[in-house]
Amino acid sequence: MTSISSRSVACRPCCRQEKSFSGRIPDWKSLAIHAYHVRKIAIYFVLLVLWRIGIGINSGHSASAIATSCLVLGGLGCVAIGVLALLAYCNARSTVYSITSRRVLLRHGIAVPLTMNVPYTLVDNAALKNFSDGTGDIALALSRRERVGYLITWPHVRPGASRVPNQFSRAERRYGCRAHPGTGLGGAKRAR
């Protein structure tokens, strides 16, 4: 039996299970892009600045008035992106995934750490979604009788699946070591 460090999700020694993997989200930047949508927010603020420039020129405002309003919008955009990037960084630092021979454990939470215990008997399907940056998300579809709180587990649930949320392993660069036959997740299907 592999010993579990203090950084890992703890399990009782009597459970007689071997740990296959334990680790943090390795890439907080990918988490910021795919879960917190930092790129989309940046594009939104760039479009707002361009819109403001167009409106200012069309209305005959002075160049200094247009520049001032664009600086204010740009500053608000930088603050929004900074807050979201900080949340992604803190979330990546506080999240630990552990896979044992019998279950998947997720410890997450920036202010209040929570641990989710998902035995393999409750997992109906595992899906993998690859991104162009070399990271990927693993979704665990739980059986219909088990429900996961969407707000409590966000951003570790599949986006848009609020009726039957799926637990998610986010921004994983080494997803190959999680979806191998030794973990029981070897039949992972590719997510759409």
35-61: average pLDDT: 95
Give dist(CA 83, CA 90) in Å, integer. 11
Residue 52: strand, helix, or coil: helix
To 5 degrees, how large is the angle CA 24–CA 25–CA 28? 135
Domain boundaries along the sequence of the chain:
18-24+97-190, 33-91
> In the structure encoding, which two tokens stand for residue 74, read together?
């740009």
Location of structure tokens 């279950």: 103
Q: Which residue has the tokens 């409750």?
A: 122
- Residue 148 vs residue 167, higher pLDDT: 148
pLDDT digits (tens, 9 = 90+) for 113-150: 888 888 888 888 887 888 887 777 777 887 767 677 77
Query: Predicted confidence band at 97 (pLDDT cuts at 50, 70, 90)?
Result: confident
Maximum C-alpha span of the chain: 76
Task: Choose between 84 and 177: higher pLDDT.
Answer: 84
Q: Categorize the per-residue pLDDT at 96 as very low, low, confident or very high, splitting at 50, 70 and 90.
A: confident
User: Mean pLDDT, the chain, as a whole number?
Assistant: 76
Alpha-carbon distance of 164 to 186, in angstroms, equals 23
pLDDT(81) > 60 = yes
Which range of 18-22, 80-84, 118-122 scores highest in mean pLDDT? It is: 80-84
Domain at 18-24+97-190: CATH code: 2.30.29
Model confidence at 169, in pLDDT bands (50, 70, 90)?
A: low
